[in-house]
Amino acid sequence: MQTKPSLLIVDDDPLIAESLSFALEPDFDIAVAESRASAMALLKSGKFTPALALIDLGLPPLPHLPTEGFRLVGDLLAYSAHIRVLVLTGQNEAANGRRARALGAAELVPKPCDPAHLKRQLFAALRGQNTETSAARDAQNYDLIGDSQPIRQLRAQIDTYASSMYPALIEGESGTGKERVAAALHHLSARAKQPFFALNCAAISANLVEPTLFGYAKGAFTGAASATSGYFEDAGEGTLFLDEIGELPLDLQPKLLRVLENGEFQRVGETQTRKSKARIIAATNRDLKAEVKAGRFRADLFHRLSVFSLQVPPLRDLGPDKLKLMEHYRTLLNHQSTNAQLPNRTGQADPQPVAQPFIIDHAAREAWLQYSFPGNVRELKNIVIRLTAKYAGYVVGVDELLQEFDTPAARDAILPPLQTLNPRADIESAVAASNAFSLDQKLAELELQYIDAAIAISQGSMTQAAKLLGLSRSTLYSRLDVLRPSQQPRP
């Protein structure tokens, strides 16, 4: 029997969660969570690993704002870059949807959603995941893509540091490809034939980090039925990559420091000292120097980890390399989608028809080069996946491309520039259509647009949004109570 794909549904409305579960249960193995915290607790427990996630942006403690949903998109992709995240969006959430895509969401699902349409989108996302995974397996060249000065500098650092036995620290924003840099350091070294192990320190519960890294003895804790080795032993003389090292619990940092200094460690529940010969490569999107000053990261561990330091540049600084990356993923994904045998909704393999890649016209190329890609390479790759699915064999223009971008135009969707308003035309249009023009309604719509824009600019901070609007925080909440009562926090 074919195993059903695993799906995580995150929504704080029990009725919506139950309805979605009922409609999708025949085709998916489903787990439900009502908040970001409960969703991540479920994943970090190791009891459920989703291939897909369907999430609402409005989650507790402020369900009328998208802040928690945005954070959850990032958390899910930090847990596993292979999870395909779909976001439930309302009619007036165009900007929020685009922001979710920039953070790494694969697709948007409008509410209310038809169950049959939702299933098609989920299976399409699953096919995209399988295609991307296959493409990653086939990409045996660990060189970095691009010829810009920052990439040339990073490539030179990799060549210099790869053969060293000392630790390296890779710094950079989320989605810039830090794990690829770590893999390049490993595969260009004499350790290339040895194991390469990766652990995301943010994707595992704090109480599981130590036994996962160091192993444990039989009976060391409840459920330890047999002695088990950890990553340091399993990596042998290879490489151990510790992603999101800034999330490592403070009380565990001295034990990691000990391994870095002399290679010694102990399994949980043992007194026997063991030796590790693995090279440690760490990565972070945090400013570890600031974390040291704040007392959240040990200074001695930071200095030990950063014997070699590599800075992965954000995509906005790479100029024409944005086009090279687009062309790389377009070719790779088109090849995979043409030749791969991907599962259909029944779990069987369907032969894929020969497809032509999409093409972007000159104006769209200029727009691509000007876009800042706040989600970096992860966002670029997701955009290419969507364009491949939607426009294979067609020419993509600026209008189609801008639909995929998180740009100032997305804010314009909720806040039209004041000079474009035409009160006389609005009134005359209403009269011509024999409709009554309501000044109160028009002013309420305009007020809500400005409030939504201020919240978007403030990235969900109601205090900052109130300042931008010249209001007190309590007044802002009061106006939202009147303008959008259905989206206020549930009791």
> pLDDT 10s per residue in the chain (491 long)?
457 899 999 999 899 899 999 999 999 999 999 999 999 989 988 889 899 999 998 888 878 788 888 889 888 887 887 889 999 876 456 667 777 887 788 888 887 778 888 998 888 788 765 554 444 443 444 678 999 999 999 999 999 999 999 999 999 998 899 999 999 999 999 999 899 999 988 878 888 889 999 999 999 888 888 999 999 999 999 999 999 999 899 999 999 999 999 999 999 999 999 999 999 999 999 999 999 999 999 999 999 999 999 999 999 999 999 999 999 999 888 776 665 544 454 555 555 555 678 999 999 999 999 898 988 998 999 899 889 888 988 999 988 898 888 765 434 433 344 445 677 777 877 777 767 778 888 888 888 878 877 776 665 677 777 878 888 877 887 788 777 654 443 33
What does the pLDDT read at residue 333?
80
What does the pLDDT read at residue 489?
39
Distance CA 484, CA 64 (A): 9
From the list 127, 284, 137, the residue with the least C-alpha distance to 201 is 284
- Centre a 10 Å sphere on the Cβ of residue 241 and count the other Cβ atoms it contains: 28
Q: Which residues contact 23 (CB under 8 A, 6 or more apart)?
A: 115, 118, 119
What does the pLDDT read at residue 94?
64
Q: Which residues contact 353 (CB under 8 A, 6 or more apart)?
A: 338
pLDDT in tens, 22-58: 999 999 999 999 999 999 989 988 889 899 999 998 8
Give first-to-last CA distance, the chain, whole Å.
44
What does the pLDDT read at residue 183?
92
What does the pLDDT read at residue 485?
59
What does the pLDDT read at residue 308?
95
Reply yes or no: is the peptide bond before residue 491 cis, omega within 30 of 0: no
Question: Where do the domains of the chain lie, and which CATH numbers do they carry?
Answer: 6-138 (3.40.50.2300), 149-312 (3.40.50.300), 317-412 (1.10.8.60), 423-487 (1.10.10.60)
Tell me whether residue 246 is exposed, middle or buried, using C-beta atoms within 10 angstroms of its C-beta: 0 to 12, 13 to 18, 19 or more.
Answer: buried
Distance CA 282, CA 202 (A): 13
What does the pLDDT read at residue 55?
94
- Centre a 10 Å sphere on the Cβ of residue 425 and count the other Cβ atoms it contains: 9
